[in-house]
Structure 1
Amino acid sequence: MNEENNSVVESNTVEPKAIDPKESPFKFIQEHPDRFLWALCVVPILGLIIELALSIPLMYSFFIYLGLNVGFSILDEKELTKTDRIAPAHWMVLVVPIYIWQRVKLNKQDKKAFFAWVIAFIFSTFITEMINDNAIEEQACQLVTEIYQEQFYQKSSECIAVTLDEEVKSGFYKGTAVMNNGVDVYITVDIRKDDEIYVQIPNQ
């Protein structure tokens, strides 16, 4: 009787699966049929990371996003064709949210990818605006210091920080500069078409 039980136990023993050391840890991603679709969804964040890492000027950043969007869209189209699924019209690669929406609709998939792109886009826009505002405030603070020292001849005066309080119109702000003597100075910040920043200090 004991011999029979032992044989049953032995026959039910599960051998551990050997792991191939050569197998890529990213195999799941590499073989996922929608990998390029999800890559498209994170382009707003991926493009922002590249833009910041390489310190690319704002006027050229458009080409980063365009290249990533078109590249991943073309790769996704090829993957759809290879797996006998339906690809959206070619022109839609230029309007990514429409491409993603049509892509999931034509293949009767849920809309998770579309909403993921929307969230990534909103997040990227928020971060970009915050970074741009910080850059404007830093440059405006330097200009306030220059105005006080060179035009008002107050060599000991120095701007500590600038806060943009209100955008009166596109590219024109009302702000507050905090000086090293603790005084708050009201300023205006004007960003011209050449991306140059002009600061004025009205009568206080």
Structure 2
Amino acid sequence: MKLYYHPLSGHAHRAHLFLSLTQTPFELIEVDLAKGAHKAPEFLTLNRFGQVPVLDDEGTVIADSAGILIYIAKKHGLTDWLPNDPVEAAAVQRWLSVAAGQIAFGPAAARLITVFGAGFNADEVIGRAHAVLKTIDEELAGRQWIIGGNKPTIADVALYSYIARAPEGNVDLAAYANVAAWLSRVEDLPGFVPFVKTPVGLAAAA
């Protein structure tokens, strides 16, 4: 099993993190985004959108971070990470959608400005980031994990990376105590691998 990734991609980190948490054997292959390796013909045969991460499981190719989380959980029958119960499964899907929506267009976009020089409106994306973080902080009140229960799910994995590095995009996490406690719980999980820190934004002064 091979995971094509870039160390500064939060989407790639989700996949890397879950493979490590589940003790799934895999090989990391770094894709040199700066040199355009993700747009090379050989990579586009794996993912025609030219994005990381991509998982190649002996010819079965999964080219989406949420898809990779679901694939690994389903392949190994990890119903603690991806419940079969319809209500819990729907709750997981809700937060996967938030990760692909409000997180991607909030804290992830804010970080893209400082790390990669993306041309987003900083005030707009930082405002979106605080809106979704406030909601998540409220959701975590009295909970250990985002859908409740006493164990994490792939929803927690999908949300973690860009929230953890939100300060790199000038998004201050100080007001979100429940989020901070949740981040610590994720980081205490056996097999946790950190997302590379970049000294930009608020993180530059930390």
TM-score above 0.5: no
- TM-score, reference length from structure 2: 0.24
Report the structure, 1 or 2, having the larger strand content: 1
- Work out which structure has the larger RCO, using CA pairs closer than 8 Å and 6 or more positions apart in sequence: 2
